[in-house]
Chain A
């Protein structure tokens, strides 16, 4: 199972990197979002994808799943959500102000 997820993560990162390197702002936003999703998958895989019982004491069972990575990605997803929302607004404002969404034209020069 871990290997399948690892391949999925690889594909997500590949697509994300391709999108990040493109010129259009919206594609870059999607690219960064995809990479963040890939990282979240990586975190959940890092704890091992075993089928186990809920990590609750008093149930008297053994073979708990690791609860920590789930807590970690919960936090990471929330942060990623906030950042993506902010970046979308920022891109829109930048498009309005600068009149272009082409990163080549947003390079900026020395004297202005």
Chain B
């Protein structure tokens, strides 16, 4: 029993509800929401060290012992993700102070932002399948509103598609829950894992596993990413960045959780399927990222590529592959927020998202340009930046297990990431400076700070990899040994 586990969910929830009352008081809203995120981050940090010393932490809500009540489970993987979520969301929030506009700030932006974090943190920490569905709905509802914030024509149009797709996928999620319950008679993840290991994963359960794969692929943008470029390019920058950094990652987390803890008995069917989906996703994402000449489209397709690449590590089910995936997942949450914030800043300065109409920003904004360049190198995986280790380990994992095609496509996709990002860099930052100071559409005063903060975190993750190696190794060990998770929950 460890009461700290519920804190990253409850703190933003309570603060968010209080802020609804004070929605006119902008200063109070800013201070309190930042405070809530810092506090959750601090608690996640404490939890990380507790898990390091004492193993997986659990909390049985209301004192109902598992499998009868709802369990919260903090293993190293989820705690690391909660910590990263708090860091990334704090940076996006600071960016929003200057960029979101006073009108939106009074329209409940801060409470909604906090509810989004509630849903994301809750999804990472819950140990119950139905509770996972509930937390999915919490952050989805917050995201439905955030995506329409401001109420532009385009936003309303794209949000309709986003909402309907997510309603259908939620229905599929519930169908999966119902089927799984009727077969196993439980919804506690540890208990599910125990029962399926005992009775064997037969054809029916494998079918349900594939149903869950469809549901989570829709959320993660694994192959089923047709909704993603449209809906991630319409909201204000700070919101688009938090979507790109967190929402697809919750889907990826769920795929990892389900397919390492519950449905790991038939890897030749389910994991091979995931591998094929990952390969196709990377190829299609690469095509999109290199084909478009639009800042937001290029960045959203880069989100798609990284989804495929992270999931490729899961396919191997080896120590190297999973370690690589965890590294790359954390790296990607930080770096995607970083490049989306920079992309939004570029659009703010030039007033357009078309690459052909911008040029030479580096003369007036050297810091922005070079931060973007370092971010690009990190995404491609140049040592010692943070993308490097993830790429090495995932590639090593795929080659060790004979998935040469998957590792090869992963490396090929890296080249396309480089191509698309350098295209963006050359067009936006190099060349003749066509905008003088007065012609710029917006001021970037105060926007560089959160961007630089994210860069520092990303650099620390890359250069200080030695320091967090022990934590990631423990996360890998816990993911690869479901018995550790089961013992911690059902003991």
Distance between A101 CB and nearest chain B CB, rounded to angstroms: 10
Q: Judge if B404 is at the interface, Cβ distance under 8 Å.
A: no
**Chain A 44-73: CB-based contact to B (< 8 A → 1; otherwise 0):** 011110000000000000000000110010
One of B15-23, B162-170, B414-422 at the interface: B162-170
A98 to B171, Cβ gap below 8 A? Answer: no
Q: Judge if B130 is at the interface, Cβ distance under 8 Å.
A: yes
Decide if the interface of chain A is mainly helix, strand, loop or mixed: helix
Q: How far is B141's CA from A35's CA once the two chains are assembled, in angstroms?
A: 18
**Chain B 317-359: CB-based contact to A (< 8 A → 1; otherwise 0):** 0000000000000000000000000000000000000000000
A43 to B178, Cβ gap below 8 A? Answer: yes
Q: How far is B154's CA from A69's CA once the two chains are assembled, in angstroms?
A: 40
A47 to B153, Cβ gap below 8 A? Answer: no
A residues within 8 A CB of B276?
A: none
Q: Judge if B230 is at the interface, Cβ distance under 8 Å.
A: yes
A90 to B156, Cβ gap below 8 A? Answer: yes
**Chain B 160-193: CB-based contact to A (< 8 A → 1; otherwise 0):** 1001100110110011011101100001000000
Q: Which of B134, B171, B178 contacts A35 (CB 8 A)?
A: B171
Distance between B76 CB and nearest chain A CB, rounded to angstroms: 30
A43 to B174, Cβ gap below 8 A? Answer: yes
Q: How far is B167's CA from A65's CA once the two chains are assembled, in angstroms?
A: 30
A72 to B141, Cβ gap below 8 A? Answer: no
Q: Which of A75, A87, A98, A108 contacts B130 (CB 8 A)?
A: A75
Q: How far is B177's CA from A76's CA once the two chains are assembled, in angstroms?
A: 11
B156 to A93, Cβ gap below 8 A? Answer: yes
Nearest 8 CB-CB pairings of A with B = A46-B182, A94-B156, A46-B178, A43-B178, A39-B174, A32-B167, A42-B178, A79-B137
Identify 11 new A-B residue pairs, CB closer than 8 A, beyond the known A75-B130, A90-B159, A112-B154: A28-B164, A32-B167, A32-B171, A46-B178, A72-B181, A79-B134, A83-B163, A83-B167, A83-B170, A87-B164, A93-B151
Binding site for A on B (CB under 8 A): 130, 134, 137, 141, 144-145, 148, 151-154, 156-160, 163-164, 167-168, 170-171, 174-175, 177-179, 181-182, 187, 230
